[in-house]
Structure 1
Amino acid sequence: MMQSAAPLSRDLVLVGGGHAHALVLRMWGMDPLPGARLTVIDPNPVAPYTGMLPGLVAGHYRREELEIDLVKLARFAGARLVVGAATRIDTEARCITVAGRGEIAYDVASVDVGIHSGMPNLPGFAAHGVAAKPLGPFAQAWDGFVARVAEEAAAPQAAVIGGGIAGIELALAMAHRLQGAGARPEITLIERAAEIAPDAPVARARLLAALRGYGVQVLTGAEVRAISRSGVEMADGTPIPAGFVAGAAGARAHPWLAGSDLPVTEAGFLRVGPDLRVEGHETLFAAGDCAHLSHAPRPKAGVYAVRAAPVLRDNLRAALSGQALRPFHPQRHYLKLISLGRKSALAEKAGIAFAAPLLWRWKDRIDRKFMAKFDPLPEMPEPEAPRIAALNEKTAQEPLCGGCGSKVAPEVLSGMLAAQGGAARPDILTGPGDDAAVLDLGGVRQVLTTDHLRGFTMDHGLMARVAALHALGDIWAMGACPQAALVSITLPRMSEVLQARSMSEIMEQAGDALRAAGAEIIGGHSTMGAELSIGFTVTGLLEGDAMTTAGARPGDVLILTRPIGSGTLLAAEMRGQARGGDIRALWDVLATPQGDAAAILSDARAMTDVTGFGLAGHLWAICRASGCGAVLDPAAIPLFAGAEALAATGLRSTIWAANRRAAPLAGAGEDARAALLHDPQTAGGFLAAVASDVAGDRLRALRAAGHDAAIIGQMEEGAPGVRLQGVAQP
């Protein structure tokens, strides 16, 4: 991915990761517009390709085969991904409200959020039914139902409400999947109209034959009264037993759009003109199923979003740069390839229909060709790395990690700190080396720490929240209550308008995290530079003695409150190698405060937070300060999802080699788990040495509070050092 050196001056925001936007992101990555900052907002780190949904339900595809990884795609496009749900667009203020994140400003924006097939007015559907769209919740619920049927914990009974093409494909796919699992399925297709397939009448006879072949019961002219735990209740009182009820009765607009003051159809879809601009709004565009082509109405189908993508990309660039826009001319007819459960399909176009297994292979080839646009993404030339004196070729070209992966090497830092040791002062109670300094201010004990992080995501709000919680970790680790904070921000070069927008996002998220911990931002400093970095100097107040790395005793149990592997995952994400779902899960953990975990461990004998020097390095610090050894059980250490597999490929964070030299491990091999012991952690968990008789209680309390904590080893007699072997769990 090549990024423009031009200062950022305009904000383009894509709301939703639908098919059109996914293609726009891909095209943008291959040819970005200099000076434009691109943002994509979506509730999920992946976007589904719904054309393969029937194949997924039938068991022909794995779920990951029809997911577009928005994390990788955003990185390729040079875009920042904000994982959150848009709830409002204010076209006057030009901002988009995102749940839990506040407002994201734009100069030009586009909406491609798809549709849903929920049935909000049907009693019981919200509690006991599942909408076929969006795909994510549906796929998870369906997989769970199939597993229960396989375990004979549920009867193979399902119902589909809606007898259009989508509902027919689902009913056939469900029957095929359950038959393949060894069950005798009872599938019911329910349609209010007098006949099924109103949008493909020429194919109706063939579709009815396919349904009969799978034993699907078809009810037409049928009204549903309610959904319950046991199934569907019809208007005439007839019960339809079903442990899984799918809603596929038409396309519905998302309520936040349908209920907005934007120009929408009676059904709630955004009205757009030939240039894909929302009617009456020069800087707002829309595409995909959430949009209604006022100049050329068409049914809801992904083929139109795919065809619209190049026009949308061109018009977004034109709107940002003051150029002329071009119209979108959708095709009048398109080929419908309808899945028939097994690997067979029916084709319908312009009044002609025919079925054959060859058609399924054709459809499969078309679908896979589309998905191949996003995995792998095109190889783009990188700028040639400069040759730097005294650095080897590998070091000069290796990307510098973000977060704690970009820290100065341990031996460099320890040498610098040792050189600072001067005459003791009565008001400075601790010297360099602890998590935070302890000061005596007229009888009041205050702790003081500073931390800053190099940007690992272009989402400034997320980055600010994680950086604030990362800095608070030192305060919590020493048993203090957070008090006040100074913020230090370096922004990339950008216009004053974008500076203000970025600062607003940063301060809102950082302020929220700090206030929730009991601290207030009281000042700070900002500047512009080559890239984003955010740091905090934080103070805290102590009621008693500070918790330090000294004090651990042989026999103490080691508790870790959070998985490790964040450095490897963040390094992989920067290289476009990490799975979006794993990164989203990591971000969620890093953005979670740990003050409650510190309170649970308030009686620990020694504690520190695991950050840049890795688990091994921070355990070595406890061993040195406490004058004893430690034994770790690698198998007991929790890891972030995806980290071990990435480490097994040889992927390492920038500081890994220096961490390994500084904290040798006796008995360590070359496997991925051993490598992750030196992985630098951003906003890492607490490592505490706890008396053995209370360790079990503390672990249970941590897990009850939602922390993925574990007992990972114990302290032992001997010279300071760390060795690896299995440890009996108390």
Structure 2
Amino acid sequence: MQTSEQPILRDIVLVGGGHSHVGVLRMFGMKPWPGVRLTLICTDIHTPYSGMLPGYIAGHYSYDDVHIDLGRLCAFAGARLFKDEVVGIDRANQKVICKNRPPVAYDALSINIGSTPQVQLVPGALEHAVPVKPIAKFNQRWLNLLDRVKTHAGKTTIAVVGGGAGGVELLLAMQFRLRNELKTMGRNPDELEFHLFTADADVLPTHNPGVRARFEKVLNARGVVLHRDAEVVQLDGHTLQTRQGERLHADEIMWVTQAGGAAWLKNTDLELDNRGFVNVGPTLQTSRDPKIFAAGDIANLTSTPLEKAGVFAVRMSKPLAKNLHLFVQGAALKEYHPQKTWLALISTGDQYAVASKGLLGFAGAWVWQWKDWIDRRFMAKFSEFPEMDPNAKPAGGNTPNLALTQEESLQAISAIAMRCGGCGAKVGSTVLSRALGNLKPVDRADVLVGLHAPDDAAIVKVPPGKAMVHTVDFFRAFVDDPYVFGKVAANHALGDVFAMGGEAQSATAVVTVPPGLESKVEELLFQMMSGAVEVLNEAGCALVGGHTGEGRELALGFAINGLVDENLNGVMIKGGMRPGDVILLTKPIGTGTLFAALPQLKTKGRWIDAALESMVKSNRLGAQCLREHGSKACTDLTGFGLLGHLVEMTRPSEVDAELDLSALPLLDGALDMVNAGIVSSLQPANVRLRRAIRNQAEYANDPRYPLIFDPQTAGGLLATVPGDQAEACVAALKKLGYEHTAIIGRILPQGDALEPIVLKG
């Protein structure tokens, strides 16, 4: 979680992880703008670099070689990364509308989402063609095709619709890779048949005649059937039909043409061109709203119409960053003047490429090597970050130079002044009421006075035949997305009730937020508590009140009240282990090391994303399943780590336990990080429990060994079930979505040794 002595005064929201925005993020990381916060909203954690994608398809590069890790980049930039799909913009209230989370407020907004193949314009194409964008979905279809060609003998016909540089490069890369795969397997590569459909008379119509001739020669030499003047107007199943009536059946149809803007832009009332791209002026501001900018393929520069080429998106990043900064400063913006000609390096599948610039064109293996050098140098900017001097002054110095209203200026001065303690540290009632006013906690008949009542405390009834379960958890934010943090914090707090077999009834929140502009504090509270209330509501747990105060860091906790049968029927306790029981774990471990590595920029974005997905997974259904399969002992895995929690269960149960290191479910990247020596700050305290391991010396060098001490946040359930119920319980848990559930050991009768834990590998 990024912390700063400087309050947030302005929010710049970047929609899409395109080439322009990654440049803005890197520049911001090199020289942050005081008082300004960047937020990136993107559907994917990794964004592809278009220049290297054909090389990836051809097999010359790995997935990581051609993708920019937005998680690491945002961590370097000190920017927030919200993983979600944008579906609209509320311009009147300056909010970005997302599919799966609350609206995100902005002071300035930039759109860099690329173009979208308009497959819906051709009957049948939406159902039967594979659009090249979004790349993440295309990649999965490509991997499926690769596997299908390798495992199914016989003729395969592949058609590519689109005769521009993108379509030609894609076809040649696919052909090169697939033919090589068949040759390696000893099969005839001529089983593959490729067709290229172009609506124009020639391929690459925007390039000079010499370049077009070179590619037509390559296509002919490689046996590609070229269909000229062949606009595809319908797909009947897997049969293509052109305007001229030509028909072809293809096993796979790739769509690389008729690109346009995303459908949701039509409802923003921004000015769009006839293809749905956003009209922008020379400053990259949209024509109807100066607070909104656009860059890359999604932008239509009205002063100088541009071809949809990655080079322009890359070149726009610098003027975009400059103008976003000038805009929040209230200063005059600079005009962007694109180059009139540009160099395109177009590969032919093998390690050979053609250079095209204006009327010039040349080719060779050396051109591909040149292209490879340029591309790798570009990607290195987003994977090899310089060590930053923590004492270096931000761009423009440490003092914000932003355009603020008089009221905002007073609030900013107050936010950095010495703050009062005691009740003076409470968040103002107006801010609090606005932030919490839109929250809708679940209604429960046993909550007599709840969140939206003006009273000093909640009143909750204990139903007849029930006993109360009380628990409390509190910790500071470890991720920069307040909505996700709210979900994790609520899940973490609920875990203790679920682990005992209880029903969550009510929750009171304790929150600290950094001081700042009232609008920013209000937005932060709303985002965080929206995430928390979603989780509480799903559990049937009513948020009934709480306390919100100021602090240097964002933090959130909950006191949870739960209900169990007053005779303790169905209750699971730590002392319920019995010899012959099998030990189960419902979630993978490794959150401690991963989030320790995150600020060091050592993790991959997809590792953190997978960890967060695990952390927001509720333990409620898992606990019910364990009870149904006879579990009498359960706990949720949290700060003491796997070993710590296992030891505190064996002692009251008066048993020993055998723990199988090789069976432990691990989060992706966790093993890499502990092997790199990166551990949580709580790990050394947990390691002291190694004295509870009978054969510790035998396994101390096992690569998984450090992870049994790794502290978990919102971890899974550690439980035991009777041995004859174990397999059925695991199957049921996996069916409920706990796909990493594993049998990790067994319970033994208590022996004479003092150490209760025995390891095996």
TM-score, normalised with respect to structure 2? 0.85
Which of 576, 583, 588 pairs up with 1:551? 576
Aligned residue for 2:546, secondary structure, equals: strand
Please give the alpha-carbon distance, in whole angstroms, between the structure 2 residues aligned to 1:454 and 1:345: 52
Please give the alpha-carbon distance, in whole angstroms, between the structure 2 residues aligned to 1:275 and 1:157: 47
Aligned residue-pair number: 672
What residue in structure 2 maps to residue 657 of structure 1?
A: 684
Please give the alpha-carbon distance, in whole angstroms, between the structure 2 residues aligned to 1:580 and 1:532: 22
What residue in structure 2 maps to residue 639 of structure 1?
A: 666
Letter matched to residue 600 of structure 1: C
Contact 2:592 2:713 in 1 (8 A): yes
Contact 1:549 1:625 in 2 (8 A): yes
Letter matched to residue 165 of structure 1: A
What residue in structure 2 maps to residue 303 of structure 1?
A: 311
Letter matched to residue 580 of structure 1: G
Please give the alpha-carbon distance, in whole angstroms, between the structure 2 residues aligned to 1:468 and 1:382: 33
Which of 499, 502, 513 pairs up with 2:524? 502
What residue in structure 1 maps to residue 756 of structure 2?
A: 721
What residue in structure 1 maps to residue 729 of structure 2?
A: 698
Aligned residue for 1:93, secondary structure, equals: coil
Please give the alpha-carbon distance, in whole angstroms, between the structure 2 residues aligned to 1:154 and 1:496: 67
Contact 1:648 1:671 in 2 (8 A): no
Structure 1 stretch displaced more, 514-523 or 231-240: 231-240
Does residue 160 of the first structure (1) align with residue 160 of the second (2)?
Answer: yes
Please give the alpha-carbon distance, in whole angstroms, between the structure 1 residues aligned to 2:307 and 2:136: 23
Does residue 624 of the first structure (1) align with residue 659 of the second (2)?
Answer: no
Shift in Å at residue 201 of structure 1?
A: 4.2
Please give the alpha-carbon distance, in whole angstroms, between the structure 2 residues aligned to 1:234 and 1:321: 54
Shift in Å at residue 710 of structure 1?
A: 0.9
Q: CA 1:351–1:449 in 2, change beyond 3 Å: closer, same or farther? A: same
Which of 555, 564, 571 pairs up with 1:533? 555
Does residue 598 of the first structure (1) align with residue 633 of the second (2)?
Answer: no
Structure 1 stretch displaced more, 491-500 or 15-24: 491-500
Shift in Å at residue 239 of structure 1?
A: 5.0
Shift in Å at residue 133 of structure 1?
A: 1.9
Shift in Å at residue 523 of structure 1?
A: 0.6
Contact 2:91 2:268 in 1 (8 A): no
Shift in Å at residue 38 of structure 1?
A: 1.5
Q: CA 1:476–1:253 in 2, change beyond 3 Å: closer, same or farther? A: same
Letter matched to residue 608 of structure 1: T
CA deviation string 1:575-597 (max 9, x = no partner): 11111111111111211222111
- Aligned residue runs from structure 1 range 175-574, under 5 A: 175-181=175-181, 182=183, 183-184=189-190, 185-202=192-209, 203-227=211-235, 230=238, 232-233=240-241, 240-382=248-390, 444-543=466-565, 544-545=567-568, 546-574=571-599
Letter matched to residue 190 of structure 1: F
Please give the alpha-carbon distance, in whole angstroms, between the structure 1 residues aligned to 2:708 and 2:581: 20
Letter matched to residue 479 of structure 2: T
Q: CA 1:55–1:526 in 2, change beyond 3 Å: closer, same or farther? A: same
CA deviation string 1:579-624 (max 9, x = no partner): 1111111111211222111110113120001111111111111101
Contact 1:3 1:78 in 2 (8 A): no
Please give the alpha-carbon distance, in whole angstroms, between the structure 1 residues aligned to 2:356 and 2:266: 32
Q: CA 1:661–1:500 in 2, change beyond 3 Å: closer, same or farther? A: same
Letter matched to residue 588 of structure 2: P
CA deviation string 1:239-277 (max 9, x = no partner): 534332211013221111144311111111111111111
Which of 688, 694, 700 pairs up with 1:666? 694
Structure 1 stretch displaced more, 193-202 or 262-271: 193-202
Contact 1:630 1:723 in 2 (8 A): yes
Contact 1:2 1:381 in 2 (8 A): no
Please give the alpha-carbon distance, in whole angstroms, between the structure 1 residues aligned to 2:597 and 2:176: 39
Contact 1:117 1:132 in 2 (8 A): yes
Which of 743, 758, 761 pairs up with 1:711? 743
Please give the alpha-carbon distance, in whole angstroms, between the structure 2 residues aligned to 1:66 and 1:448: 50
Shift in Å at residue 381 of structure 1?
A: 1.6
Shift in Å at residue 148 of structure 1?
A: 2.2
Contact 1:97 1:104 in 2 (8 A): yes
Identity of aligned residues (%): 39
CA deviation string 1:156-208 (max 9, x = no partner): 43110011111111111111111211233311101123332221142211110
Contact 1:645 1:672 in 2 (8 A): no
CA deviation string 1:294-341 (max 9, x = no partner): 111111111112111111111111111212211111111111111111
Contact 2:40 2:82 in 1 (8 A): yes
Q: CA 1:108–1:148 in 2, change beyond 3 Å: closer, same or farther? A: same
Letter matched to residue 309 of structure 1: S
Q: CA RMSD in A?
A: 2.0
Letter matched to residue 285 of structure 1: F
CA deviation string 1:635-661 (max 9, x = no partner): 111111111122211211111121111
Does residue 688 of the first structure (1) align with residue 696 of the second (2)?
Answer: no
Letter matched to residue 529 of structure 2: M
Shift in Å at residue 703 of structure 1?
A: 0.7
Aligned residue for 2:368, secondary structure, equals: helix
Contact 2:17 2:113 in 1 (8 A): yes
Shift in Å at residue 3 of structure 1?
A: 6.3
Q: CA 1:665–1:440 in 2, change beyond 3 Å: closer, same or farther? A: farther
Shift in Å at residue 722 of structure 1?
A: 1.1
Letter matched to residue 94 of structure 1: Q
Please give the alpha-carbon distance, in whole angstroms, between the structure 2 residues aligned to 1:259 and 1:248: 25
What residue in structure 1 maps to residue 107 of structure 2?
A: 107
Please give the alpha-carbon distance, in whole angstroms, between the structure 2 residues aligned to 1:230 and 1:441: 61
What residue in structure 2 maps to residue 406 of structure 1?
A: none
Unaligned runs of 5+ in 2: 184-188, 393-460
Letter matched to residue 497 of structure 1: S
Contact 1:476 1:595 in 2 (8 A): yes
Unaligned runs of 5+ in 1: 385-438
Aligned residue for 1:635, secondary structure, equals: helix
Letter matched to residue 620 of structure 2: G
Contact 1:604 1:691 in 2 (8 A): yes
Q: CA 1:504–1:153 in 2, change beyond 3 Å: closer, same or farther? A: farther
Please give the alpha-carbon distance, in whole angstroms, between the structure 1 residues aligned to 2:149 and 2:506: 56
What residue in structure 1 maps to residue 707 of structure 2?
A: 676
Please give the alpha-carbon distance, in whole angstroms, between the structure 1 residues aligned to 2:721 and 2:30: 53
TM-score, normalised with respect to structure 1? 0.89
Please give the alpha-carbon distance, in whole angstroms, between the structure 1 residues aligned to 2:597 and 2:489: 20
Shift in Å at residue 672 of structure 1?
A: 2.4
Please give the alpha-carbon distance, in whole angstroms, between the structure 1 residues aligned to 2:37 and 2:559: 29
Aligned residue for 2:673, secondary structure, equals: helix
Please give the alpha-carbon distance, in whole angstroms, between the structure 2 residues aligned to 1:213 and 1:58: 18
- Aligned residue runs from structure 1 range 51-66, under 5 A: 51-66=51-66
Contact 2:351 2:368 in 1 (8 A): yes
Contact 2:494 2:560 in 1 (8 A): yes
Aligned residue for 1:366, secondary structure, equals: helix
Shift in Å at residue 147 of structure 1?
A: 2.2
Aligned residue for 1:348, secondary structure, equals: strand
Please give the alpha-carbon distance, in whole angstroms, between the structure 1 residues aligned to 2:298 and 2:360: 29
CA deviation string 1:340-377 (max 9, x = no partner): 11111111112222222111111111111110111111
Q: CA 1:621–1:331 in 2, change beyond 3 Å: closer, same or farther? A: same
Please give the alpha-carbon distance, in whole angstroms, between the structure 2 residues aligned to 1:8 and 1:343: 49
